[in-house]
Amino acid sequence: MGPGGVQRDEQELLARARAGDGEAFGELVWRYQDTVHTLALRLVGADLAADVAQEAFLRAWRALPRFRGEAAFSTWLHRITVNTAWTLRRRDRRHPTQPLEGDFEDTGPRPERAGELAEARAGLLRAIGTLNPGQRAVLVLRDIYGWSGAEVARELGITETAVKVRLHRARARLRSRLEGER
List contacts with another protein (CB under 8 A): 20, 22, 25-26, 29-30, 33-38, 41-42, 49-50, 53-54, 57-58, 61-66, 102-105, 107, 120-121, 124-125, 139, 143-146, 168, 171, 174-175, 178-179
Our CB check for another protein shows the closer of 93 and 103 to be 103
The CB-of-97 to another protein minimum distance in angstroms stands at: 17
Our CB check for another protein shows the closer of 8 and 150 to be 150
Our CB check for another protein shows the closer of 120 and 158 to be 120
The CB-of-139 to another protein minimum distance in angstroms stands at: 7
Our CB check for another protein shows the closer of 64 and 156 to be 64
Torsions phi, psi of 105, nearest 5? -70, 140
d(CA 28, CA 25): 5
The CB-of-94 to another protein minimum distance in angstroms stands at: 22
Our CB check for another protein shows the closer of 93 and 116 to be 116
DSSP the chain: --HHHHHHHHHHHHHHHHTT-HHHHHHHHHHHHHHHHHHHHHHH-HHHHHHHHHHHHHHHHHHGGG--SSS-HHHHHHHHHHHHHHHHHHHTTTSPPPP----PPP----HHHHHHHHHHHHHHHHHHHTS-HHHHHHHIIIIIS---HHHHHHHHT--HHHHHHHHHHHHHHHHHHHHHH-
The CB-of-9 to another protein minimum distance in angstroms stands at: 18
The CB-of-63 to another protein minimum distance in angstroms stands at: 7
